[in-house]
Structure 1
């Protein structure tokens, strides 16, 4: 065993046994050298490996600290495992909330996108400038659906590295993941069909159900274990479900991931019942727990899964380039795309193809994951410091969202409006469900650099929640 690996294993064992707790500072590099007798390079390599695994986080001019462990909330017993929605009407509300995050004076903790400063803007602009000077007239035709050939080939190679056989011709380049998901759902359903969504779920799924005039069955998703497969099995037996729109990795808003075992069971169950899976996997590259997570598509051998993702959450939001590994549905999705948006921006496709072949995308992802883990730790610590003890903060390892539970009967919408008046946005739980069972929850985007302004915002949120608690107590006392 290499010396650095011996130190890695030793420190992980110490953390597991409680010698070092989350937030504890480890001995400095030089202290570890003196203690272990190893070289500085060996110790540095071991600490860097532990950081890449999400076990440690580094702080400039400070040292290495034990990363925070995941904190999970138990699914409240009162929440329904299966909930029907004959119709969904949520788009107007979501539009209003998202519009508020565009104001540059508002701290965008309610935003769905990570801090753009985390992306390699200069390298991307160099790629865009390069392709802009070399574009030819025929590029407009050559990059119509299914999209740029070099980009699709690169994506197929990345699937192959995960052990997933996807031919470039099965991939359709889209205007972000939302178009991939919407076209995929449209390809396998008709108006009036039943589809499964998670509860809570990404609001884009609810918007798609509303737009396509579908009927939804919402299946409870647990913050620790993910989708309730028993409830899904029951729904598939009771209703003619055509498709499921699910996030299997780092789900939005909960942050949870399905285990490999549950993903395999999910695919097997859907194949047995003849239903399709629209797999929303936009956060797959943002895991900070050191585990490589396959998509459900890995276990699909019958063309059941349409796997959708994009570069918007891990490389560049403004390019709006996504894709779907659609298998036998690729031709139909291309036809649907030609009838709607026609194609994805040609310069953006060419720029991404150039970037992926001339830059280290994986090196960028490693740095991004480290930054997100550090920032989320700082945000969680600040919120724990300033929010009342009655508030629970759910933090799964991976992604950049915190799912926060207010005390029962406290309305997150009231907090949303009062925070917005103080130039702070949050994403209230109403955005993520067609019902009211998450009215006392909100999602918090923890991807932003943490400084005095953000610390002040956390303090204000704490004050606003305490005011709501006081008002609630006064109402209770005034009742006869």
Structure 2
């Protein structure tokens, strides 16, 4: 129990510990919210928050008219060890596999575990359609003029309010609307680097960011990263002492592909380090709202009064992937980014911006997020169970507290690229590990996206990936 934690998190952690060590067996019914509040001498709202946090973590489940029950724990594989990438910068060269992975995501002929996407019906599509339709009626004249490069003011204002759960106090005039989060990151990189510069990144890192570095002719310096706690700040400091690092690109909360979340103390330390070294930091907050607790959702930028940390986000993982709308707040560099955006892509579709602004201000967002967190937590635990049963012995799998990415380390004889080819022949798509490193690394690793509903066919597809890995392992050992 940590006295610095909010009371509901202390209660949730205590109950989770009892569930993990078997003191609370699977299927056990928890006391009602009212009774538990009386037993613990706390408020009903504290117990309710604790139960919701446990739902988000997949520890308990609510059964209609019955109460809260401890979920059955799946067989749990071991987690990966912290990464140990090269200590030298490397030019980035990404294979064409990335395009196949992304294209297959929208093809119903494939079972895709490769692209970081969730089932479309998890999002309020019909509600979003109504807001866009209303915007088309109210703001029809916008169809006859070019959109503003910075974005519609109501959406920029809504985004500034939307950043409050990140503990960030943004000024809406510094917020720019972008074509997704990737453009936001690209604008920041263009503002603070020149071709040939070195950018520090997590390792493994999202392959989309590596593609950006490649397109901008930047070199990547991979920093060791813990699968639960994120980038190693000690290793980052050493890199800053020994290499000409020009900027840091980092995903402190629900990183991709590890799903790691930096502790609050580490986020505070990173902000202080950036200030002391005058280091531009590009912080991706695209998945922050999927984290279960307020502390986990807090951004590094919240500890940076000078806005040296540039904040990049979107709504593709939490609200409306199909809108492809993102945003960036670069503080003092806002005008520089606006000039770059004007030259590069101009504005987005203004009707979509009006519709999204109305949606954000209409309420109902937080309950939808809670449902999404709970769904993803159940998906992750179910997938880990299937992996534990179907994949080769010795396979290590991350156990993220939020999000829907799983990073797997397979036994060394298994080649992720060969496994990718074998899966593709069965119309199953995975994202092989070499996509997530700047150099020839992670040859035995892969990322699985488990945000889509597990139908019987999809469960079998996941088992097939494990069976193919087992076959490859047997052949490597010379067995029939």
- TM beyond 0.5: yes
Is 1:72 equivalent to 2:64 in the alignment?
no
> In structure 2, what is the equivalent of residue 346 of structure 1?
350
> Superposition pairs for residues 189-268 of structure 1, below 5 Å?
189-268=193-272
Q: 1:257–1:83: structure 2 CA closer, same or farther, 3 Å change rule?
A: farther
| C-alpha distance in structure 2 between counterparts of 1:67 and 1:343, whole Å | 49
> In structure 2, what is the equivalent of residue 96 of structure 1?
100
Of residues 365, 381, 384 in structure 2, which corresponds to 1:380?
384
Contact in 1 for aligned 2:30/2:70 (Cα 8 Å) = no
Contact in 1 for aligned 2:200/2:249 (Cα 8 Å) = yes
> In structure 2, what is the equivalent of residue 25 of structure 1?
27
Q: 1:60–1:108: structure 2 CA closer, same or farther, 3 Å change rule?
A: farther
| C-alpha distance in structure 2 between counterparts of 1:296 and 1:262, whole Å | 9
Deviation of the 1:252 alpha carbon: 0.3
| C-alpha distance in structure 2 between counterparts of 1:153 and 1:222, whole Å | 36
Q: 1:458–1:131: structure 2 CA closer, same or farther, 3 Å change rule?
A: same
> In structure 1, what is the equivalent of residue 188 of structure 2?
184
Is 1:126 equivalent to 2:133 in the alignment?
no
Structure 2: state its 5+ residue gaps.
1-5
| C-alpha distance in structure 2 between counterparts of 1:35 and 1:322, whole Å | 42
Of residues 406, 414, 428 in structure 2, which corresponds to 1:424?
428
Q: 1:67–1:285: structure 2 CA closer, same or farther, 3 Å change rule?
A: farther
| C-alpha distance in structure 2 between counterparts of 1:385 and 1:44, whole Å | 39
> In structure 2, what is the equivalent of residue 315 of structure 1?
319
| C-alpha distance in structure 1 between counterparts of 2:206 and 2:112, whole Å | 17
Q: 1:434–1:9: structure 2 CA closer, same or farther, 3 Å change rule?
A: closer
| C-alpha distance in structure 2 between counterparts of 1:8 and 1:365, whole Å | 18
Is 1:452 equivalent to 2:459 in the alignment?
no
Moved more, 271-280 or 52-61: 52-61
CA-based RMSD of the aligned residues comes to 3.1
Q: 1:22–1:282: structure 2 CA closer, same or farther, 3 Å change rule?
A: farther
Deviation of the 1:48 alpha carbon: 7.5
Look up the SS of the partner of 2:478 in the other structure.
helix
Q: 1:139–1:360: structure 2 CA closer, same or farther, 3 Å change rule?
A: farther
- Deviations along 1:28-70, one digit per CA (max 9) or x if unpaired, are 779x9999999xxx99995785134435342767973348699
Q: 1:451–1:29: structure 2 CA closer, same or farther, 3 Å change rule?
A: farther
| C-alpha distance in structure 1 between counterparts of 2:454 and 2:269, whole Å | 40
Moved more, 156-165 or 255-264: 156-165
| C-alpha distance in structure 2 between counterparts of 1:8 and 1:298, whole Å | 21
> In structure 2, what is the equivalent of residue 50 of structure 1?
51
Q: 1:258–1:67: structure 2 CA closer, same or farther, 3 Å change rule?
A: farther
> In structure 1, what is the equivalent of residue 3 of structure 2?
none
TM-score, normalization by structure 1: 0.88
Contact in 2 for aligned 1:245/1:279 (Cα 8 Å) = yes
Structure 1: state its 5+ residue gaps.
none
Is 1:82 equivalent to 2:87 in the alignment?
yes
Is 1:144 equivalent to 2:148 in the alignment?
yes
- Deviations along 1:273-332, one digit per CA (max 9) or x if unpaired, are 222001111110111367542111011122311100000111011101100011111111
- Deviations along 1:306-362, one digit per CA (max 9) or x if unpaired, are 100000111011101100011111111111111121111212111101111224111
| C-alpha distance in structure 1 between counterparts of 2:274 and 2:10, whole Å | 40
Moved more, 116-125 or 46-55: 46-55
| C-alpha distance in structure 1 between counterparts of 2:50 and 2:197, whole Å | 48
